[in-house]
A and B are shown apart, each in its own frame.
Chain A
């Protein structure tokens, strides 16, 4: 997976220069979309052919929902503290 991160860094460096060419960037955006479509299609295929995952899809969904609720409460709670302490300047 380090390879993936290095590739991203290489991409960023290339992008600093390639950003000068709007037409290339348009193609780049298209390619990103299609790469994501392909990979999620493949994830779908992988899940569809994996009986264990299919059978527990409802439990996976429920856990996903609960994790999201936890993540949102945690994030918004932190946001409230940060807002009161650093951004909310009404009391002066």
Chain B
């Protein structure tokens, strides 16, 4: 929660400086965000590779547990596709790219901005922040009415860190490993799936 506020304030700061035109010309002309993204992804990779705990979690897993992140992917894809049918300005591909952030708003919005443009990038930022906040606020309800996987499904990629405490609190400690696993798998797959959705010509 604190993390998302900091990130949102950096976004808001940029927004204000952009709207008020108070930035030097050279900053607007040179597009070094692509290089920043290259560096970011290398660092994110290091973080994943170095995370012993995550690799252990993945090793102790049976096949059944793969259904959880797979369910998030399939369920999200179906849900956003249906919604996109009612949104005339949005293609199914765009809707699926936004959905494929699975709550990982920082990386997904950056990725989509680079690959597709700012409008969809901002939509991904907002949509995936809403996903995280909704999970934090509504997990008790989700679990009560839709079973113990509901918080994990709703949390998506965030189920490994920011929403893990609330999920464990309401689904029980038994579900902590499943939550971690699903979150880790989805976190790793976010850039891969977004690239796949926006770059394949199906």
Contacts and interface: CB of A to CB of B under 8 A. Distances in A.
A5 B191 contact: yes
Contacts of B17: 44-45, 48
Interface in A33-75: 35-50, 52-54, 56-57, 59-61, 63-75
The size class of the interface chain B forms with chain A is: 35 or more
A43 B79 contact: no
Nearest to A57: B122
Nearest to A31: B43
Contact of A88 (B12, B15, B33, B147): B147
B177 interface: no
Contact of A11 (B46, B76, B121): B46
A84 B72 CA distance: 15
A46 B50 contact: no
Contact of B6 (A3, A7, A37, A87): A37
A15 B115 CA distance: 26
Nearest to B38: A7
B50 A18 contact: yes
A75 B47 contact: no
A84 to B, nearest CB: 7
B176 interface: no
Interface in B46-92: 46-52, 64, 67-68, 71-72, 74-84, 86-87, 89-90
B37 A80 contact: no
A66 B50 CA distance: 37
Interface in B23-40: 23, 27-28, 33, 36-40
A86 B67 contact: yes
B37 A72 contact: no
Contacts of A11: 41-49
A55 to B, nearest CB: 11
Given A43-B121, A79-B146, 8 more contacts: A8-B41, A32-B47, A39-B36, A44-B12, A57-B122, A71-B76, A74-B74, A80-B150
9 contacts: A28-B47, A37-B7, A37-B10, A39-B106, A40-B106, A44-B16, A63-B123, A67-B83, A74-B79
Interface of B: 6-7, 10-21, 23, 27-28, 33, 36-52, 64, 67-68, 71-72, 74-84, 86-87, 89-90, 95, 98-99, 106-107, 109-111, 113-115, 118-119, 121-128, 130-131, 134, 142, 146-150, 152-154, 156, 191-192, 195, 198-199
